[in-house]
Structure 1
Amino acid sequence: MSAKAERTRELLVETALRLFRERGYEATTMRLIATEAGVSQGSAYYYFEGKDALVHELYVRIQQEHRERAAPLLREGAGLAENLRTVLHTGLDTMGPYHSFGSTMLHVALSRSSPVSPFSTESGPARSAATALMAQVLASSRGTRSPTSHARLPELLWLAYLGVTLHWVTDPSPDQRRTRQLVDGLAPIVARTVALSRLPVGRRLAADVFTLVDQLATPTTDRNDP
């Protein structure tokens, strides 16, 4: 991609994020994004097939920056609680500039059928990047590489991260300090849960958790589904 094309693509992303913050996700159209960016609507669609694609671009960028910030800070052989606390706090640091935008996206992302849901197929690249970082957290921490550990433990840490993110989006405290307190309290709890997962009863519990997660994350056509 040429330097000019890169600049145009970056301009569209920055314009979209500004409009999402100012007008909300639903009220922002590709036509408006193109107009505000000073490019044709056709050019906007050349780079992004729709505003959902712009959201996914943001997801991927956040995950890339999060990994760049967190990976050098993980301590080999440290306790899981310490390394998890590090990765969650750096995640909040990375998301900080987008706090106002997050609140506009919440009602859209919570829908299981939404393309911008963290569980959607379209969110796969960002989800994979986040899970890979959690796998690195486990690999760096002592006592977490047992052959009896559940294979989906990185996903469990990612789910904890999602919970922290949800709290952060709705946190009105100055600089989202209450979410920082949540991270400090949650990390040792998750670490103890992971330790428990190495035991037979813990592995069964983990399997039940992931079965439930898979059921909730998969859209259904059941007529009784709300």
Structure 2
Amino acid sequence: MTQTRPAKSERTRALIVETALRLFRERGYEATTMRAIAKEAGVSVGNAYYYFGSKEELIQAYYDELQEEHQAACRAVLESERDFAPRLLGVLKARVDTMIPYHQFAGKFFKFAAEPTSPLNPFSAESGPARAAAIAIYREVVDGSTLKLDPDFRAELPELLWLYSMGIVLYWVHDSSPGCRKTYLLIERTVPLVDKMVAMSRLPVLRSVTRELVEIIREVRA
């Protein structure tokens, strides 16, 4: 019984998330109510609220699920590559690979996620765990590579790479090309540039600029 109940609970939770995502795609985020989600999932409204206190929490669950899929999709490249550029390229492509099934849905709720005060905003406190997990992947990209960097810049680079990835995601949301081909092309063309800029940060002439950048990042974050 102790093993069956958690398994059933996880199935119910997953069913609610799956149903919510389908209804968000079909009806739009704003028009979909928790009552409608519960009805379509075949559970009571009280049971739906037991697992998720709001629609926003459902989206957070989607973020978490997507992040777990991305982490799994990254394993092969992170375990086989040591050079920085192939590691970054593989991680970014894996990010798009895992998002592709949700492309139509992403465009519908993006306007809500873009609101600065929205809990769906990737920079919000509510999105903190998913954001930290995403940055941890880019930290692994850096720390597992052969890069030789200034220690302070190395510490800040993962967050900069995450911000770069968010730019890729924003482009992907609006990409109407077949199979999001242009997003993959954007990744392939920009990763070599990022690799060059990171490598150039070691040059004596750019060290002062790099240190100033680190100071700006830390000052803004504080």
- TM-score, normalised relative to structure 2: 0.89
Deviation at 1:150, TM superposition (A): 4.3
Spell out, residue by residue over 1:30-64, the C-alpha distance to the aligned partner (whole angstroms, 9 max, x if none). Answer: 11101111111100000011111110111111111
Query: Secondary structure, in 3 states, of the residue corresponding to 2:151?
Result: coil
- Structure 1 position 200 matched with structure 2 position 205: no
Which residues of 2 match residues 158-173 of structure 1 at below 5 A? 158-173=162-177
Query: Secondary structure, in 3 states, of the residue corresponding to 1:152?
Result: helix
Alignment partner of 2:139 out of 129, 135, 150? 135
Alignment partner of 1:77 out of 79, 82, 89? 82
Deviation at 1:192, TM superposition (A): 2.5
Deviation at 1:203, TM superposition (A): 2.4
Equivalent position of 2:95 in the other structure: 91
Equivalent position of 2:66 in the other structure: 62
Structure 1's 144 and 91: CA in aligned 2 closer, same or farther, altered over 3 A?
A: farther
> Is the CA contact (8 Å cut-off) linking 1:138 and 1:144 kept in structure 2?
no
> Is the CA contact (8 Å cut-off) linking 2:152 and 2:214 kept in structure 1?
no
> Is the CA contact (8 Å cut-off) linking 1:139 and 1:145 kept in structure 2?
no
Q: Amino acid of the residue matched to residue 111 of structure 1? A: E
Query: Secondary structure, in 3 states, of the residue corresponding to 1:49?
Result: coil
Deviation at 1:151, TM superposition (A): 1.9
Structure ranking higher in helix proportion: 2
> Stretches of 4+ moved more than 6 A in 1?
none
> Is the CA contact (8 Å cut-off) linking 2:13 and 2:51 kept in structure 1?
yes
Which residues of 2 match residues 1-226 of structure 1 at below 5 A? 2-74=6-78, 75-78=80-83, 80-198=84-202, 199-208=207-216, 211=219, 214=221
Spell out, residue by residue over 1:104-153, the C-alpha distance to the aligned partner (whole angstroms, 9 max, x if none). Answer: 11101111110000000000111011000000000122224542524221
CA-atom RMSD, angstroms? 1.8
Give percent identity, aligned residues only.
48
Q: Distance in 2 between matches of 1:33 and 1:97?
A: 20
Q: Distance in 2 between matches of 1:197 and 1:112?
A: 32
- TM-score, normalised relative to structure 1: 0.88
Q: Distance in 2 between matches of 1:172 and 1:149?
A: 36
> Is the CA contact (8 Å cut-off) linking 1:197 and 1:203 kept in structure 2?
no
Q: Amino acid of the residue matched to residue 203 of structure 1? A: R
Deviation at 1:188, TM superposition (A): 1.6
Q: Amino acid of the residue matched to residue 89 of structure 2? A: R
- Structure 2: unaligned runs, 5 residues or longer: none
- Structure 1: unaligned runs, 5 residues or longer: 216-226
Q: Distance in 2 between matches of 1:189 and 1:209?
A: 21
Spell out, residue by residue over 1:144-180, the C-alpha distance to the aligned partner (whole angstroms, 9 max, x if none). Answer: 4542524221100000110000101110000000001
**Range with greater deviation from structure 2 (193-202 or 159-168):** 193-202
Deviation at 1:87, TM superposition (A): 0.4
Q: Amino acid of the residue matched to residue 58 of structure 1? A: Y
**Range with greater deviation from structure 2 (68-77 or 49-58):** 68-77
How many residues align? The count is: 213
